[in-house]
Structure formats: structure tokens, C-alpha cells
Amino acid sequence: MNQSHCPCGSKKQYNSCCQKFHNGDSCLTTVDLLRARFSAFIKHEKNFLVNTHHPFYVTPQLISNLEDTSFVPSNLKIIKVNQGLASDTEGCITYSFDYLTENGKESYQTTSLYSKIGDQWFYVKDT
């Protein structure tokens, strides 16, 4: 795998993919935000993860959890997208990814809820 490929799995270069979001551009869709947050875990862009988490759900516990850089997901697969386009104010994405545990690689599937405040998408919670 090419090291400069974006870790979100888009097969684009990082500097023409999620890097612009990590540098402050707004995500137009929930898919952009999911990919940018996914690659932020791998790139340790903690501030981006905090800033794109719905403010109602940002707690000291969350921020300290994000200090833990041992969580390194890989192999993002988007399974189902509900709404979440630029014209929407809410959206859900079902997706899966792999991560390493003491017992080897495991897969995890979840559905995340997103909400828009102003023109900015936020991750709310997993449903």
C-alpha cells in the first residue's frame, strides 16, 4: 500500500483528500466527515475529532479517551448512507472497520448519527 494514500481508504493522496478537512475546511457531507474522522484517528488529529464531535456530547472523559492513540482503525467500509448530503441537516451512516486487539484483528460494524449546526456537520453518537 502506498504510504501517502489517505488512511480513509479513498485511494486518493492524503493531501488531496482528508488533509484539507484536518486543516479547517468544512465537510459538505456526512461521508466526508466520516472519512475525515476515520483518518484523524490514524493521523492523531485529536483537535479535529473534538471539534467535529457534537458539542452536547463532548465531555472531559471523551477528550481523555481521544488522548489514547492506541486505537488505530483500518479498512473502512461504508455499508449504507442515509441522507447527510449538503442539503440535509441529519444523516446516518452504517460502516465497518478493522482494529487490532491483543487477540489479533477484529471487525466492528456500527451506525453513526450526524447532525448539522449552521453549515457544519457533527458526529453525534452511534445508534
Q: Note the residues at the interface with Zn ion (CB under 5 A).
A: 6, 8, 10, 17-18, 35, 39
Residue placing its CB nearer to Zn ion in the complex, 12 or 116: 12
Whole-number minimum distance, CB 8 to Zn ion, in Å? 3
d(CA 74, CA 26): 23
d(CA 21, CA 12): 14
d(CA 40, CA 49): 7
Whole-number minimum distance, CB 52 to Zn ion, in Å? 14
DSSP three-state, residue 38: helix
Longest CA–CA span in the chain (Å) reads 43
d(CA 75, CA 24): 25
Whole-number minimum distance, CB 12 to Zn ion, in Å? 6
CB atoms within 10 A of CB 14: 19
Whole-number minimum distance, CB 13 to Zn ion, in Å? 9
Residue placing its CB nearer to Zn ion in the complex, 10 or 83: 10
Residue placing its CB nearer to Zn ion in the complex, 26 or 58: 26
Residue placing its CB nearer to Zn ion in the complex, 3 or 127: 3
